[in-house]
Amino acid sequence: MADRGFKIREDLLVISSNLAIPPSSAASMQMRSKDVKEISQIANVRIHVERAIRRIKIFRILKQEMPLCIVPLADDIVRVCAALSNLWEPLIV
């Protein structure tokens, strides 16, 4: 999922991933119902992704600048914070 400015579609194909970009609309043209539905679905998923990211960012270690001695552990720190946030109640009921 990305905004229109991202040019990474080819990079994602290499790892068999799909990029969801909302369809663009011209200023004077009305969008097709298919495009409106697609934009709505992407927006709904985006809301949940942003909520999950917000949940991960509440950990104090991620709120401040990381000392250089911790930077090699950054991937592990984010992974642990994400795992702990997954133990909370579900975002989607």
Q: What is the DSSP letter of 72?
A: G
CA distance linking residue 63 with residue 74, whole number of Å: 13
Output the CA torsion sign for 19, 25, 31, 32: negative
Distances in Å between the alpha carbon of 37 and those of 20, 31, 42, 74?
Answer: 13, 10, 9, 38
Amino acid present at 9 = R
pLDDT higher than threshold 80 for residue 76: yes
**Which residue ranges make up each domain of the chain?**
27-86
Q: What is the pLDDT, as a whole number, of residue 87?
A: 93
**Tokens 């994602």 -> residue:** 12
- Give pTM, 2 decimals: 0.64
pLDDT tens digit sequence for 5-63: 677 777 888 888 877 777 665 555 777 788 788 888 888 888 888 999 999 988 888 88
